[in-house]
Structure formats: C-alpha cells, structure tokens
Amino acid sequence: MPGPGDRGGKKERPRDAKGTLRRIVQYLTAYRWQVALFLVCACLSNVGNLLGPRFAGKAIGLAEKGYQLGPGHVDMDAVARYALLMLACYGVGSVMNFLVNIGMMRVGRRVARKLRQDVFDKLMALPVGFFDRHQAGDIISRVSYDVDVVCTSLSTDVIHILTSTVTVAGSFVMMCVISPPLVLCMAATIPASILFTRHMGKRTRPLYAKRSAAYGEMNGFAEEMFTGQRTILAYAQEGRVCGDFSRVNRAAAEAYREADGLGMTTGPTVGMISNFGLAAIGTGGAVLYMLGVVGLEQISSFVLYSRKFSGPINEISNIINEIFSALAASERVFRLLDQPEEVKDVYGAVERRDGSGHVKAEGVSFGYVPGRTVLHHLDFEAKPGQTIAIVGPTGAGKTTIINLLMRFYDPDQGCIYVDGTENRAYTMDSLRRGYAMVLQDTWVFRGTIFDNIAYGKEGATMDEVVRAAKAARIHGYIMRLPQGYHTVIGEDGGSISKGQKQLLTIARAMLYDTDMLILDEATSNVDTATERQVQKAIRSLMAGKTCFVIAHRLSTIQNADHILVVEHGDVVEQGTHRSLMEQKGAYYQMYASQFG
C-alpha cells in the first residue's frame, strides 16, 4: 500500500484548452464594456508607440540632409519638434498603458472573486462522497492557488497578448511601408519564431498541468500532517514525516522545474532568432544604402520598428507559458465546477413539516464503491419517540446507517421511510432539518461561544442559548471564560478540550428543536463524572424524540427501546437489552467482554 510519500505519481493532462479558454472568456463578459474600453486604450497606447519611431526617423532624415548640404544647414527647430512629438507619443502611450494595467488588474480580481465564490458554492452543493474521495488540501489548492494563477493571467497576460498583437501587426505594416526590400531580409525569422513558439507550447502545456496537480498533492499531504500533528509527536514520527514531505516537495519542485525550465527557454530562443533578423536587416540595410535605395531615415525607422516587431514576439512567447499554466489551473477549477451536485430533490418533492419521527427501513443495501456492498438488506422500524441503539464492532456499518438516514447517500436497493413517506420524496433541506446530531467528531468554528451554540437555530436568543448550555452542563465553564458567551474561540476550538467541544455540540443539539435525534458516541470525550451529568441532560433532550444512538459503551444504551446488533453490514440480532441477553448471542458476548 503506498505511503504518503508516494503521492507524486499521479499526473494530470490538459483535456480541452479551447473549451477552458471559452469558459474564462464567459467570466469576462460581465465586464465586457470595461474590457472593451481598456482595449481601446491599449490600441491608443500602441498607436503612440508606433508613431514614435516614425518621428525619430524624420529627425534623423533632417539631420542627414542638413549635413549633406553642409555645416549649419540642419533645421534644429524641426529636429526638436520631431523629438518633442516622439516624446509626446511615448508619454501618451505610457499613461494609457498604466491605465490599462490598473484597470485589468481590478477586472482580474473581480473575476477571481466571482470564480472563487462559484467554487465555494459548488463545494457546498457537492455530495459527501466527493469529500471522501478528495484530499482537503487539494481542494483548498484549487480554491486559492489555482484561482490566483487564473487571476494573475487575466490581470496581465490577456492585455499583453492583445497589445503585443497590435504592436506586431502595426510594426509589420510600417516596415512594409518604409522598405519592402528590408522586410525580405527578416522574412525568414518570422515563421521560424512562430513555428518554434507553437512547438514549445505543445511541449510545455502538459507540464504545467502536471505542476498544478503536484502542488495540489503537496498541499493535501501538508494538510493531513498538520491535522495529525499531535499523533505525529506522540509516536515520535517527525523525522519520517519530514522525509515523506521532502519526497512530495521534491516531486512538486521537479514538476515546477520541468515546466518552467522548458518554458524559460522559449523567450531567449525567440530572442536569438530575432537577433539573427536584426543582423540581416543591418547587413541588407548597409547594402541598400550604398546602392542608394534607402536612406538613413528609412534604415533607422526600420530598425526601431523591427525591434518593436520582435520584442512583442519575445513577450508573447514568454506570456504563452504563463497562459498555459493558467489554462492548466483553470481546467482543475472547472473540473471541480463540473462535478455532479448532490441530487437534492426529486420532481414533486414536498416539504416535511411537523412529522412524528416514524422511521422504517425495508431491504436497504448500500456500498460506497460499486460492487462492494457495506450494508445488506437492512430492515428495522423506529416508532415515534423510541430510542434505537446501533451497536457492533468497528467497521460493521453503524455510521453508514446514519449516513443513509441523513441522505448523505441514497440506498442502492430498498427504501427508507419517514412518517410513512420515502425519504427521497421530501426536500433534502426539510428532511435534514428534522434531525439534530451530536457526533463523536466534534466541529466548532472560529466565532463566539454564543455563535457556536446557536449555529443551528436562526434568531436564537441569549436566554435560549444559556438554557441549552446549562442543560449540557457547560454553562459554568463558559462563565469562567474571559468574556463568557462572547468569548471568541479559534478554528477547531483552539485551546478548548475535546470534552468541552463535545459539550458545546450537545448544547447546540439541545437548542435545535427537532423530532429526530442522532447521537454518535456523544459522550466519548467526557470524563465519567461528567458523563453521568450529561446523560441526564441527553435523556431530557431525547424525551419525545425518535433517537438513533451509536454506542460502544453498552451501559449507555441498556434502556433503549430497540437495539440493532450489526456485524459486517448485516443486522445479526434485534431486540431489547433483556431479550438480547437472554439469547446469549453476539450482543451477550459484547456485553460480557465489557462487564465480565
């Protein structure tokens, strides 16, 4: 079985670059007028930059004619006028370019914000199975790193590509007007630059996709290790984890080196080809000048335009690498956005209101992976107000039953009925609002104690929260905190112990008024003395509710109305505590192992 350090083997390849680019453009359509304005400004900037060399050539032409007539015949006023016009053109071009860059940066940030919001909204709509199959770090990488790469490309690369295209086209036209013979001198370098850039693009695009995937793998590994830091320290595995991270980090760095190392050769190579063209222009220009075909004015202007022609080609070749990187990142983001959402409501689904909590399962079979069934033909019935305990060894399928009750997954076969109606006939939100949950894996978020307890009940008052906290036996602890119920706790509870976090989640469930309750080892993280107190509070919480209790400590479920004993996905025994003890079967063996 591969270890954490073996994650780097997975490779991602780009699938639909044109489709991805089209979807990015769709995000830009919301700002089409701003983008159109910036394009106009970019064109004006290029017009100014393209006129500059023409005025420079005019000034040099005047100087040449003046010196041919003799010293003192140079019209310095005209030369100065052309010089000022040239400076004015370059100044206007620079200002326009500055405005374009600022404007596109803002558009890029807005698009990134919209894209990141869409990704987060999508994550909230995805089924639980998606998060079971994907690392949290990889998901976070798509929300942050990949979206930022797209944003950077939109802010800078798109406009650079468009303005560079205008510059290249304008420079080529001006060179054709000035001297067609000189254009022939550099004709061979133009297709060479284009063909080489296309060839390198095909080679680098898969490498940038691989780089994005490698960074996602590295973030996923780091997130896993940070989550399990206490376990790592407890088992003194710091050296091993550092070694594993070193291998993952090396794989990511190698993917970065392969992509950027190859990509960085494109610009210098295209520059070298352009320099060959410049050398050809210099040689050809000298010959044509001696033949009297062109003058210094044409040669100087042509050289300046040739640099403006080859410079953007250089930039485009470098920018294309960044665009390929952005396309690879975009594909990862759009693949997430294209994931099938949780099938919430069937056609004609109704709201569940004021139910009694009658739950029945008939012939339910389910497997997380096709062909591997976890539950086999599950049958049980929970009448309103009854407590159903689910016991069995680890991996027997207890939590899977809860997942099906909450419709985190739907059965492969069979049906689950709530109040006589199949649970799929209810809207998902109304079905889940019928359950309150207290899980073994507690979850609290960054916010006040009040916010954490009132999380499930909109508009909860302080009095209601305090009553719930007192019932959960955590009010005294809260009042000892610096700001009481207004004390802010950090992400995942910060310094609050697991037991205290569990009491907070119990208080949250007590505040959430429902007709069905799920308790998954709800007191596993509290001490024995506190557990006795919390059990009293839980019994009051359970009053009148249909309760499903997962428990390993059988002492907590002896008063359950019905007990399901689950082994290997099958309910092997059902009954009350007394009847199951009298059978002296699987439940009896479990009880004897705990109490001798």
How does pLDDT run across 393-407, given as a tens digit for each residue? 877 788 888 888 888
Neighbour tally for 264: CB within 10 Å: 13
Nearest-angstrom CA–CA distance, 385 and 238: 50
pLDDT of 136 over the 50 cut: yes
pLDDT tens for each residue of 148-157: 888 777 777 7
The pTM of the full predicted model, rounded to 2 decimals, is: 0.64
pLDDT of residue 417: 92
pLDDT of 161 over the 80 cut: no
Mean pLDDT of 474-490: 86
Axis crossing angle, helix 238-264 with helix 266-290, rounded to the nearest 10: 20
pLDDT tens for each residue of 417-441: 998 889 888 888 888 888 888 877 7
Mean pLDDT of 337-363: 83
pLDDT tens for each residue of 5-59: 333 333 344 456 677 778 887 888 888 888 888 878 877 777 767 776 777 666 6
Give percent of the chain with pLDDT exceeding 70: 83
Tally of CA atoms within 13 A in the half-sphere of 63 that contains its CB: 14
pLDDT tens for each residue of 257-280: 777 777 677 667 776 777 777 677
pLDDT of 85 over the 70 cut: yes
Residue 559 has what DSSP assignment? T
Q: Decide: helix, strand or coil at residue 423.
A: helix
Q: Are 383 and 576 in contact (CB under 8 A)?
A: no
Domains of the chain: 106-337 (1.20.1560.10), 359-595 (3.40.50.300)
pLDDT of 233 over the 70 cut: no
For tokens 């352009």, the residue is 274
pLDDT of 251 over the 60 cut: yes
Q: Give how far Cα 474 sits from Cα of 29, 203, 347, Å.
A: 53, 61, 44
What DSSP string runs through 433-464? TTEEEE-SS----SEEHHHHHGGGSTT--HHH
